């Protein structure tokens, strides 16, 4: 999955603006798609099979890992960050760090002090707000 | 200096090609900045869903019973396929294969439209089961999140069709394909967001 080809001004969008870098070939793009297809199918199977065989605790970690693999393939190969300048990656990495930080912080805060109405269905996880 | 000499000189590789920041395309960098900010936007919607998840799953209708994973998996495949056609379109323009590039652009827009049609069917089915914007927390969190994603897809389809039209006038070729490249970045991001939503909301 590392085959590449170069063409003049390939990276630039405008011929003279950038230096030429290697971009994946058509075959590589198709290989990436096949991998994405297989991983997505594996996600669907895992989400339905793992709970039925009593491995519920493995569902979330396995699905998250597969989603990360898919996301990385799309960003690196289809969005060309693997071959583009690292400067382009900076705002995306910054956004992803902020996004992940926000998600984890909010979930963490909820675990520490859930500010939600207490219902019987929530059970022991529900703490009444004082 | 003859005309041919002038033309040759204008296409000659400069003695000192741009390097460092000068080699960056500001339009492309601007799109990456926008995508970075859009990450935070979608993260806020997903976070809202997750924080309210215990309440959502304790009420009725339960997402596990109402969300069709197999149908949504087909939608995910459609978006993944559209990412492939998008990148093939850009590669065709970079090879000066304009007609092929236009065809792939049209295929991408068609797949995007299929996705939107699928999402409309899903929303319609949910409405029949009583999940609407005013039906409760699940309806609000889920429909706003997927609705904003659908809006992004819709904007992407319009953008792709505009690129297809512009490409017909000879605007894009192997020396100038920034328009297709930037619309491609946006389209792949839309696919990326669906990867996150599909996993975090539908499967987990």
Res B130 pLDDT > 70 = yes
Is residue B16, in this structure, part of any structural domain at all? no
pLDDT computed for residue B17 by the predictor: 61
Comparison of pLDDT for B204 and A30, the residue scoring more: A30
Mean pLDDT (chain A) is: 78
A58 and chain B: CB distance < 8 Å anywhere? no
Distance between CA atoms of residues A25 and A5, nearest Å: 6
- What is the distance of C-alpha A25 from the center of its chain? 23
Nearest partner of A86 among B21, B34, B183, judged by Cα: B21
Q: Tell me the CB-side half-sphere exposure of residue B138, using CA atoms within 13 A.
A: 23
Same domain for A67 and A108? no
Q: Whose structure tokens read 């699940």?
A: B138
Distance between CA atoms of residues B199 and A45, nearest Å: 12
Which CATH number goes with the domain that contains B158?
1.20.120.80
Same domain for A127 and A90? yes
Residue B149 host element (H or E) = helix B137-168
A34 and chain B: CB distance < 8 Å anywhere? no
- Within 8 A of A122 by CB-CB distance, chain B residues are 54-55, 58
Instruction: Dig out the tokens for A44 from the structure.
Output: 């669907």
Domain interval for residue A116: 85-130
**Residue B9's pLDDT band (cuts 50, 70, 90):** very low
Res A8 pLDDT > 90 = no
**Residue A16's pLDDT band (cuts 50, 70, 90):** very low
Number of H helices, E strands in chain B: 8, 0
Distance between CA atoms of residues B185 and B156, nearest Å: 10
pLDDT computed for residue B71 by the predictor: 92
pLDDT computed for residue A9 by the predictor: 40
**Residue A123's pLDDT band (cuts 50, 70, 90):** low
pLDDT computed for residue B18 by the predictor: 62
Spatial contact of B101 and B92, defined as CB atoms under 8 Å apart:
yes
Same domain for A78 and A100? no
Total domains in the fold of chain B: 1
* Cβ pair B182:A13 closer than 8 A: yes
* Cβ pair B27:A13 closer than 8 A: yes
- Within 8 A of B39 by CB-CB distance, chain A residues are 92, 95-96, 98-99
* CA distance readout (Å), A94 to B17, B30, B40, B60: 29, 14, 10, 38
Instruction: Dig out the tokens for A60 from the structure.
Output: 């979330």
pLDDT computed for residue B42 by the predictor: 96
Q: Greatest CA span in chain B, whole angstroms?
A: 80
Same domain for A76 and A99? no
Res A65 pLDDT > 60 = yes
Same domain for A13 and A48? yes
Instruction: Dig out the tokens for B147 from the structure.
Output: 């609705």
Total domains in the fold of chain A: 2
Each residue's pLDDT tens digit, B98-127: 999 999 999 999 999 999 999 999 999 999
| CB-nearest partner of A14 from B33, B69, B178 | B178
- The helix-helix angle for B137-168 and B69-94 (nearest 10°) equals 20
Mean pLDDT (chain B) is: 89
**Residue A117's pLDDT band (cuts 50, 70, 90):** low
Same domain for A62 and A15? yes
Same domain for A20 and A71? yes
Each residue's pLDDT tens digit, A29-44: 999 999 999 999 999 9
Backbone angles phi, psi at B86, to 5 degrees: -65, -45
Strands (E), chain B: none
Distance between CA atoms of residues B105 and B165, nearest Å: 10
Domain interval for residue B181: 26-203
Same domain for A60 and A118? no
Nearest partner of B131 among B198, B194, B68, judged by Cα: B68
Is residue B74, in this structure, part of any structural domain at all? yes
pLDDT computed for residue B51 by the predictor: 84
Same domain for A66 and A104? no
- Across B153-175, average pLDDT: 96
Work out the number of other CB atoms within 10 angstroms of the CB of residue B114.
16
**Residue B59's pLDDT band (cuts 50, 70, 90):** confident
In percent, how much of chain A has pLDDT > 90? 45
Spatial contact of B176 and A17, defined as CB atoms under 8 Å apart:
no
pLDDT computed for residue A15 by the predictor: 47
Question: Which residue of chain A has the CA closest to B47?
Answer: A103
**Residue B136's pLDDT band (cuts 50, 70, 90):** confident
Same domain for A14 and A66? yes
Res B10 pLDDT > 90 = no
If contacts are CB pairs under 8 Å, which of residues 168-197 in chain B contact chain A? 174-179, 181-182, 184-185, 188-189, 191-192, 195-196
Query: Which residue of A20, A69, A84, A92 is the best one to mutate when testing the B interface, meaning the one whose CB has the most B CBs within 10 A?
Result: A92
Hey, which of A49-58, A70-79, B11-20 has the most confident mean pLDDT? A70-79
CA distance B123 to chain A (A): 21
Interface A-B: count of C-beta contacts within 8 A: 180
DSSP state of A117: -
């Amino acid at each position: 999955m590392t085959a590449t080809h170069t063409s003049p001004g390939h990276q630039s969008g405008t011929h003279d603006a950038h230096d030429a870098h290697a971009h994946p070939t058509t075959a590589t793009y198709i290989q990436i798609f096949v991998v994405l297809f297989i991983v997505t199918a594996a996600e669907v199977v895992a989400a339905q099979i793992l709970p039925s065989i009593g491995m519920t605790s493995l569902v979330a970690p396995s699905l998250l890992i597969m989603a990360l693999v898919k996301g990385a393939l799309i960003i690196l190969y289809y969005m060309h960050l693997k071959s583009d300048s690292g400067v382009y990656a900076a705002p995306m990495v910054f956004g992803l760090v902020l996004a992940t930080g926000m998600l984890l912080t909010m979930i963490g805060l909820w675990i520490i002090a859930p500010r939600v109405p207490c219902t019987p269905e929530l059970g022991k996880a529900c703490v009444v707000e004082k | 200096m003859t005309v041919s000499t002038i033309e040759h000189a204008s296409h000659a590789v400069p003695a000192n090609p741009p390097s460092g920041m000068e080699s960056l395309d500001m339009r492309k960098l601007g799109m990456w900045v926008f995508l970075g900010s859009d990450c935070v936007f979608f993260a806020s919607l997903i976070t809202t869903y997750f924080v309210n998840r215990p309440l959502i799953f304790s009420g009725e209708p339960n997402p596990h019973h109402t969300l069709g994973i197999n149908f949504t998996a087909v939608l995910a495949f459609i978006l993944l396929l559209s990412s492939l056609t998008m990148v093939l379109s850009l590669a065709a323009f970079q090879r000066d294969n304009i007609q092929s590039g236009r065809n792939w652009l049209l295929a991408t827009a068609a797949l995007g439209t299929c996705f939107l049609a699928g999402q409309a069917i899903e929303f319609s089915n949910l409405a029949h089961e009583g999940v609407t914007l005013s039906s409760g927390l699940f309806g609000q969190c889920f429909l706003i999140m997927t609705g904003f994603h659908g809006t992004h897809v819709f904007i992407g389809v319009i953008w792709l069709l505009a690129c297809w039209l512009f490409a017909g006038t000879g605007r894009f070729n192997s020396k100038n394909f920034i328009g297709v490249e930037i619309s491609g970045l946006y389209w792949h991001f839309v696919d990326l967001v669906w990867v996150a939503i599909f996993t975090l909301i539908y499967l987990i």
